[in-house]
Structure 1
Amino acid sequence: MPLDNTNFPLVWMSYDEEPDHDHDEDFEALEASFRRGTPFVILTDNAPAEDHEHSPEEKKRTALWMKKHKAELRSLVLAMIVIEPNLPKRMAFKPFGVAFAKFWGYPMKLASSREEALEIAGKLLSEHAGSATT
């Protein structure tokens, strides 16, 4: 899940992984975003395939990393926005969103287009900025 935070607070995630992909780089990119101390939104336009599996080692490493960074995940990541133009596929993600939020500590939002995703992200960021000043 390579991450691109060059357009922070919009952090783009890709699920196009090479076989020798280094997940430590992904964790480091998220930690770099945390160190900014500013809330952000994760966006992706290529959600994982249904058969996307992680090895037991990857699952354990992810769980340990999440435990260590639970506070940052809950306070700094406003949402993950999944762009899926196909309505049936988008609807299939809805039930998964509940489990996703419980697991990661932030909500999953669905968008039909990049433009809609950017609107949602802008709204989340401005709402948070507004609530932070009151």
Structure 2
Amino acid sequence: MRIDATQFPFVWLQKTIPGHSQEESLAEFEAVLARNEPFVLISNEGLDKEQPEHSPEQLKQITLWMKRHKSELKRYVKASIHIESSLAKRLAGKAFALVYEKFWGYPMLIATTEDEALALARNLLQAKEK
């Protein structure tokens, strides 16, 4: 995954491009966390887009990274919002969202459109300011 923080506090997750390593992705994520400010992750790639299979070593690396940054993830990431137009895929994604939140420590939400995702992100960020 690539992290695009040019519209911070809206941080876009994008499919990894060839030559972009997992270490680079985690470093990008770490740089966003280092801002010490709340933000929302947004992905417009849908819920069923093919993701590359992670090797056991890569999964271990992700898990260790997540554990090292658990408190920052809970404090600064208000949600991960995935844009999915298909009702069936949104419904299927809701079950996965529970597992996702337990692992990452922040909620996974699903929006139908980009406008809906951005409105939801704004509401989450404003609610946390109060």
Q: Which moved more, 1:118-127 or 1:51-60?
A: 51-60
In the superposition, the TM-score normalised over structure 1's length comes to: 0.90
Q: Distance in 1 between matches of 2:50 and 2:13?
A: 18
State the shift of 1:20 in Å: 3.7
Aligned residue for 2:125, secondary structure, equals: helix
Q: Distance in 2 between matches of 1:24 and 1:9?
A: 22
Q: Deviations over 1:66-120 (max 9, x none)?
A: 1110111111100000000111111110000000000000000110000000000
Task: Report what 1:82 is aligned to.
Answer: 82
* RMSD over equivalenced CA pairs, Å: 1.4
Does structure 1 conserve the Cα–Cα contact (< 8 Å) formed by 2:38 and 2:76?
A: yes
State the shift of 1:24 in Å: 1.3
In the superposition, the TM-score normalised over structure 2's length comes to: 0.93
Alignment of 1:12 onto 2:20: no
User: Between Structure 1 and Structure 2, how many residues are aligned?
Assistant: 129
Structure 1 residues 20 and 57 mapped into 2: Cα distance closer, same or farther (>3 Å)?
farther
Task: Report what 1:99 is aligned to.
Answer: 99
Match of 2:101, as an amino acid? A
State the shift of 1:48 in Å: 5.4
State the shift of 1:33 in Å: 1.0
Q: Distance in 2 between matches of 1:51 and 1:10?
A: 23
Alignment of 1:34 onto 2:27: no
What are structure 2's unaligned runs of at least 5 residues?
A: none
Match of 1:97, as an amino acid? A
**Seq. identity, %:** 43
Structure 1 residues 2 and 50 mapped into 2: Cα distance closer, same or farther (>3 Å)?
closer
Task: Report what 1:128 is aligned to.
Answer: 128
State the shift of 1:128 in Å: 0.5
Task: Report what 1:3 is aligned to.
Answer: 3
